[in-house]
Chain A
Amino acid sequence: MSVTTAPRTDPAPPRPARAGGARGSRWHNRGWVLLFLAPSAVPLLMFTIVPMLGSVWVSMHSWNLISPMRWAGLENYRSLLTDPTTRTVFTNTLIYCVGYLPLVYAGGLGLALVLNQRLRGRSLFRAAFFLPVVTSWVVVALVWKWLLNPTNGLVNTVLGAVGLPQPGWWTDPTWALPAVILSSAWKDLGFVMVIMLAGLQAIPADVLEAAWADGANAWQRFWRVTLPLLSPSTFFVVVISLINGFQVFDQVYVMTGGGPSGSSQVVVGQIYDLTFRYGRAGEASALSWLLFAVILAITAVQIRGQRRWVHHA
């Protein structure tokens, strides 16, 4: 990239750049690309990619943040791969994602569909459903710990009344993670709702009208028209939820602290502990690059696969 490719501002109309079209006026096009991408690319490069590369450097050292770094080569990666904790935190994170994503997607989409109808006070309802997204995790976690209290919580009281088993939730190693999943999905419903609502606005009315005229019933219209036309939003929600889900931290930190006995510890929780509590920043960086590899692979698979199901105008 050199200075000569600075954006040209002359008003000469660029050729219509149809996908797969001729590669006319390449320089001109580069100018536009630079103009549109530079404002985001430069800060991302400086303030995210540079620190990312810095953390690659850290990952090859033994460093407690307060003494000089000691070169360790790939030792941090090697020791992580043999440490059973690594396996536990990745398994927990995966379980979290698998449980969280369907709940939050189905719930958020349902809400968006309901609140896209004409209802009295609709905007206030939407705000109500959005409120948990902005409420602090400290409060939400306390509410959920109270709801899921094993002895006298509301949830177990109801389960007991209908004769179902009453799990120990956050006090039980098996049920701690499901408790976190439930509360996270609940809190993030509003997030998905907002995105799906925006997506619903982009569906042209005449398409639905045509489907209606063809005699499609509500269910058919939903499956054959609405859902396919929402696929760009769905794709976004799935990709982002998985990227964020693999980095789940706050809720685990405040709800279970990774316990009981480390049974709900997740990757970023471990990264946080290693960096700021255990003075093992090198290993933390290495662990975050293992996490990066996993997220990158999963995202790449989704981007590859999107052609098959994501509908673009």
Chain B
Amino acid sequence: MPDVLAPATDVPTATPSGPTTAPPPRPRRRRPRPTRLLTYAFVVVGAVVMLFPFLWTVITSITPGGSLAGGPTLFVRNPTLEAYRVLLDTLPMWRIALNSFWVAVASTGLQLVTGAMAAYGFARLEFRGKNVVFGLYLATLMVPLQVLVVPLFIEMKTLGLQDTYAGLLAPSIASAFGVFLLKQAIESVPRELDEAATIDGASHLRIFLQIVVPLIRPALATVAVFAFMASWNSFLWPLVIIRSPEFMTLPLGLATLQGQFTTAWDVVMAGSVFSIVPIAVVYLLAQRHIIAGVAHTGIK
């Protein structure tokens, strides 16, 4: 299972001598053993360190009466899935998760489409004031949501969109973050390719769909991961725009587990695991595309 995702489609990287993208493996396959072991050691230790908070989350969730005070313990005396049962009893978890899922899928899809198109526009079309318009796009990232939330809420209320899926989704139809990332990716695609296509009579739409989009798949996958994650974890906007329980998303549901005075941390952590695992899966799925890059499409 581990190595299925490291096929020959990858950028050739073999010599592990130092942190660098290395030349093709063809000429020599000799591997300086110690360096390689060192790399593994580094990666394994690093991974354990990075996994630690997640492990702690899992451990707390299976510890009876689990508590966060007093630091983590790695040994659980009587592990139990009780917290998960309580979680499923307290909240309609599947419904909530499904809500979050569809909102995340919709906003990811919309951001990919709107973002890739805008990125193409900025990278490949010439028009007056392009820099100013792109600056305006970036400017939308520069005002914190905390201060936009009230005017945005009033606007939504005026539009009659409060407490609807549309209202929930509206602010994440497009994101300048995605536009920017994809623009950088498209600018790395050699212009000769679309110029050749233009001479063959292809329109911008065709160049975009048939040449550019396949070439920026790693960037698209990256944007997809972040867009999904942003929607999946977003809290402040759903909090104010949603009031009917049937629209409730995961972060809102999990917040209700935190009491004013006391909190059952094992249940909260079970909820945390419940919300982390799907994104981890999304990342694992997306990463096939993140690494299926240039070699795959035959660019030389």
Using a CB–CB distance below 8 Å, which chain A residues touch chain B? Answer: 11, 13-14, 16-19, 21, 29-30, 32-33, 35-37, 39-41, 43-44, 46-52, 54-55, 57-58, 65, 110-111, 113-136, 139-140, 142-143, 146, 149, 189-191, 194-195, 197-206, 208-209, 211-213, 218-219, 221-222, 225-226, 232-233, 235-236, 239-240, 243-244, 247, 249, 268, 271-272, 275-276, 281, 284-285, 288-289, 291-292, 295-296, 299-300, 303, 312-313
Contacts and interface: CB of A to CB of B under 8 A. Distances in A.
Interface stretch (B74-82, B83-91, B98-106, B125-133): B125-133
Contacts of B299: 204
Contacts of A221: 20-23
B199 A16 contact: yes
A23 B71 CA distance: 66
Nearest to A294: B142
Task: Report which residue of B148, B170, B198, B205 has the largest number of chain A beta carbons within 10 angstroms of its beta carbon.
Answer: B148
B13 interface: yes
B144 A288 contact: yes
Nearest to A18: B195
Contact of B198 (A13, A128, A131, A303): A13
Nearest to A13: B201
B294 A292 contact: no
A105 to B, nearest CB: 14
Contacts of A289: 143
Nearest to A126: B287
A146 B53 CA distance: 11
25 contacts: A13-B203, A17-B124, A19-B126, A47-B170, A51-B151, A116-B11, A116-B21, A118-B13, A123-B287, A124-B2, A128-B50, A136-B275, A136-B276, A139-B54, A140-B53, A194-B225, A202-B293, A206-B300, A221-B21, A240-B177, A271-B147, A285-B147, A295-B142, A296-B142, A303-B135
Interface in B239-288: 269, 272, 275-276, 279-280, 283-284, 287-288
Interface string B27-70: 10000000000011011001100111110110000000000100
B143 A44 contact: no
Contacts of B154: 54
Contact of A132 (B53, B185, B294): B53
A313 B151 contact: no
B139 A296 contact: yes
B210 interface: no
Interface string B102-143: 000000000001110110110011110001010111111111
Nearest to A234: B184
Contacts of B171: 47-48
Contact of A52 (B42, B143, B284): B143
Given A48-B143, A197-B218, A299-B142, 12 more contacts: A32-B125, A33-B125, A51-B148, A51-B152, A130-B283, A132-B53, A134-B283, A139-B269, A198-B222, A201-B291, A218-B18, A288-B146
Contact of A205 (B203, B229, B284, B294): B294
A50 B156 CA distance: 11
Interface of chain B: mostly helix, strand, loop or mixed? helix
A130 to B, nearest CB: 5
Contacts of B187: 232, 312-313
Contacts of A211: 23
B290 A201 contact: yes
Contacts of A268: 144, 146
A50 B140 CA distance: 10
Given A133-B229, A135-B57, A271 B21 contact: no
B237 to A, nearest CB: 10
B97 interface: no
Nearest to B282: A134
B135 A202 contact: no
A207 B294 CA distance: 12
Contacts of B141: 240, 243-244
Task: Report which residue of B50, B52, B120 has the largest number of chain A beta carbons within 10 angstroms of its beta carbon.
Answer: B50
Contacts of B208: 36
Contacts of A135: 53-54, 57, 272, 276
A146 B181 CA distance: 36
Contacts of A201: 11, 218, 290-294
A10 to B, nearest CB: 9
A21 B191 CA distance: 14
A52 B140 contact: yes
A35 B195 CA distance: 20
Contacts of B191: 313
A140 B276 CA distance: 13
B185 A202 contact: yes
Contacts of A226: 20-21
A39 B114 contact: yes
A293 B3 CA distance: 48
A35 B125 CA distance: 11
A139 B272 contact: yes
A272 B146 contact: yes
Nearest to A134: B279
Contact of B219 (A129, A189, A198, A296): A198
